[in-house]
Amino acid sequence: MCRIIRGRFGRLLLLFLTLYATFGLYFLHSFDHDIDKTTIATSSVNEKAINLKNEQNKVLDLMIEQNVKNDSSNLEPIMIKGILGNYEPKNLVKIPGPGENGEGVSLKDGEEKQRGKKSVDDYGFNEVASEKISLDRHARDTRPEECKYWKYPSIDKLPTASVVLVFFDEGWSTLVRTFHSVINTSPKELLKDIILVDDYSDEEHITVRLPEYIKKWNGLVKYVRTKQRYTAHRI
């Protein structure tokens, strides 16, 4: 806390909290002596103390949040429980359909299931089922709960990042959904580019279709093809 409470504002904050705590304790002390103790239930006193503590915590959280906003030099992330972090997506609209929020996908008829089985042999997963899922579907958030409440430095204080994806003959839907997800969930000011490194694939949907598909992002997504195969898939 000492790292984020600094300068004139920090001193005023500490003074305010000290006075707040002092008067709060005085209130409890007066409450305890002015009323006949024999008529006061212990639970009532505890409830007053808990309510006071909760109010103090609320004030502290709000003051810390305001201090971070005002202090542009602060590079320390902080967590304010109950207040979404500044880079958390807000008002997400779920897309109805297969695979949304990590739900499973079922194949219906025998022919579809046969194609699904073959795709597992080709790609190591069921590409037929994957094709039924929207390229912009939302994945289930599996992070610890506290991750949602971390506040990080402002965008102008952070470096940009490049995301590099290396692949060989990857299935179309999973590859494209991967960089769609990066684009959809990254602050656009911090995402410098996405570099797709094709390790000398043979599939036409990689060598022909993919370079054309990514043109819609005007250079944000880049395609690089190696001149020979470097991965363990080399044959």
In degrees, rounded to 5, the angle at the alpha carbon of residue 167 between the alpha carbons of residues 162 and 168 is 155
Mean pLDDT of the chain: 80
Last residue of a domain, one of 16, 47, 76: 76
Could you tell me if 129 and 180 lie in one domain? no
- The stretch 190-202 carries a mean pLDDT of 97
For 170, the token pair is 């990857």
pLDDT value of position 35: 46
Contact call for residues 139 and 184 (beta carbons, < 8 A): no
Could you tell me if 210 and 162 lie in one domain? yes
Say what the pTM is.
Answer: 0.67
User: 């279709």: which residue's tokens?
Assistant: 209
Contact call for residues 101 and 140 (beta carbons, < 8 A): yes
In degrees, rounded to 5, the angle at the alpha carbon of residue 42 between the alpha carbons of residues 37 and 44 is 95
Amino acid at 51: N
Instruction: Indicate if the pLDDT at residue 205 is higher than 90.
Output: yes
**1: in domain:** no
In degrees, rounded to 5, the angle at the alpha carbon of residue 62 between the alpha carbons of residues 8 and 19 is 60
Could you tell me if 218 and 231 lie in one domain? yes
Residue span of the structural domain in which 18 resides: 7-76
Cα separation, 27 vs 114, in Å, equals 75
**165: in domain:** yes
Which residue in 220, 216, 218 sits closest to 196, CA to CA? 220
Task: DSSP letter for 218, please.
Answer: T
Last residue of a domain, one of 50, 76, 102: 76
What is the pLDDT confidence band of residue 225, given thresholds at 50, 70 and 90? very high
Instruction: Indicate if the pLDDT at residue 28 is higher than 50.
Output: no
Instruction: Indicate if the pLDDT at residue 183 is higher than 90.
Output: yes
Which is higher by pLDDT, 84 or 20? 84
pLDDT value of position 63: 54
Could you tell me if 143 and 167 lie in one domain? no
**192: in domain:** yes
For 198, the token pair is 């094709």
Q: Specify the range with the lowest mean pLDDT, choosing from 58-72, 97-111, 207-221.
A: 58-72
Last residue of a domain, one of 152, 186, 202: 152
**235: in domain:** yes
**2: in domain:** no
Q: Specify the range with the lowest mean pLDDT, choosing from 3-12, 141-150, 175-184, 225-234.
A: 3-12
- The stretch 64-81 carries a mean pLDDT of 68
**23: in domain:** yes
Between helix 7-34 and helix 42-70 the angle, nearest 10°, is 170
Which residue in 189, 193, 187 sits closest to 86, CA to CA? 187
pLDDT value of position 53: 57
The total domain count for the chain is 3
Cα separation, 209 vs 198, in Å, equals 13
